[in-house]
């Protein structure tokens, strides 16, 4: 009987796992419509009064997305004013939903990675994750890895899809 050889375990394939770059912390989405009359109409005096009464300290060290979940037309200054109340407490504030927030977090962390350690190596960008990794994070990773990698695949080692192979000099 022939010996079974685990070619994946014996390969020089490097795995780039985006979960390794997931920033720990509480994610919160603040919906501006909660302070609008019937969720649609901004009355400046009431809006400002509601913001002053709100307990902003509950967002201490949170990553926060500021959005409006109704079809209300909200002036830009409203989100800016909410941001000013949040700024002393939140770690990060973005305009948009939780996926936009996650995209921004990954964009920040991936921009600071030293990709030179992948110089000339075959890579696989791990596809499955238990954490909320937005599609944009995979795009950022591919962009940053391409100048260094010999090849890039996506997925799992047992069923990877080839994406890129460097030209031989």
Model confidence over 11-58: pLDDT tens digits?
A: 689 999 999 999 999 999 999 999 999 888 999 999 999 999 999 999
Q: Is the pLDDT of residue 5 over 60?
A: no
Domain range holding 71?
A: 27-90
Strand, helix or coil for residue 151: strand
Q: Average pLDDT in the 149-161 region?
A: 92
pTM of structure: 0.86
Same domain, 12 and 43: no
Q: What percent of the chain has pLDDT over 90?
A: 80
Lowest mean pLDDT among 7-16, 31-40, 78-87, 118-127: 7-16
Same domain, 38 and 83: yes
- Identify any residues that bridge with 126 across adjacent strands, giving them in sequence order: 155
Q: What is the pLDDT of residue 168?
A: 82
Same domain, 121 and 149: yes
Considering the domain boundaries, does residue 73 fall inside one?
yes
- Identify any residues that bridge with 27 across adjacent strands, giving them in sequence order: 63
**Residue 143 — very low, low, confident or very high, per pLDDT cuts 50/70/90?**
very high
The DSSP code for 22 is P
Q: Is the pLDDT of residue 4 over 70?
A: no
The DSSP code for 159 is G
Considering the domain boundaries, does residue 101 fall inside one?
no
Same domain, 69 and 121: no
Domain count, the chain: 2
Same domain, 132 and 145: yes
Q: Is the pLDDT of residue 151 over 80?
A: yes
Same domain, 31 and 67: yes
Q: Average pLDDT in the 90-97 region?
A: 97
Q: Average pLDDT in the 138-162 region?
A: 94
Same domain, 34 and 86: yes
Mean pLDDT (the chain) is 92
Considering the domain boundaries, does residue 103 fall inside one?
no
**Residue 158 — very low, low, confident or very high, per pLDDT cuts 50/70/90?**
confident
Q: What is the pLDDT of residue 156?
A: 87
Give the dihedral sign, CA 81/99/146/6: positive
Q: Is the pLDDT of residue 142 over 70?
A: yes
Residue environment code for 138-163, b if the CB has 16+ CB neighbours within 10 A, otherwise e = bebbbebbeebbbebbbeeeeebeeb
Q: Is the pLDDT of residue 9 over 80?
A: no
């Amino acid at each position: 009987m022939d010996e079974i050889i685990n070619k994946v375990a014996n390969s020089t394939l490097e795995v780039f796992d985006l979960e390794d770059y997931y920033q720990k912390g509480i994610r919160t989405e603040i919906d501006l419509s909660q302070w609008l009359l019937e969720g649609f109409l901004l009355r400046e005096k009431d809006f400002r009064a509601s913001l002053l009464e709100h307990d902003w300290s509950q967002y201490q060290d949170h990553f926060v997305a500021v959005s409006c979940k109704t079809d209300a037309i909200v002036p830009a200054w409203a989100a800016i004013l909410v941001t000013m109340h949040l700024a002393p407490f939140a770690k990060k504030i973005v305009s948009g939903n939780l996926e936009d927030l996650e995209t921004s977090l990954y964009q920040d962390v991936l921009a600071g990675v030293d990709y030179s350690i992948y110089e000339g190596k075959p890579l696989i960008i791990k596809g499955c994750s238990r954490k909320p990794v937005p599609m944009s994070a995979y795009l950022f990773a591919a962009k940053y890895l391409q100048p260094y990698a010999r090849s890039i695949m996506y997925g799992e080692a047992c069923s990877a899809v080839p994406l890129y192979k460097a030209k031989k000099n």
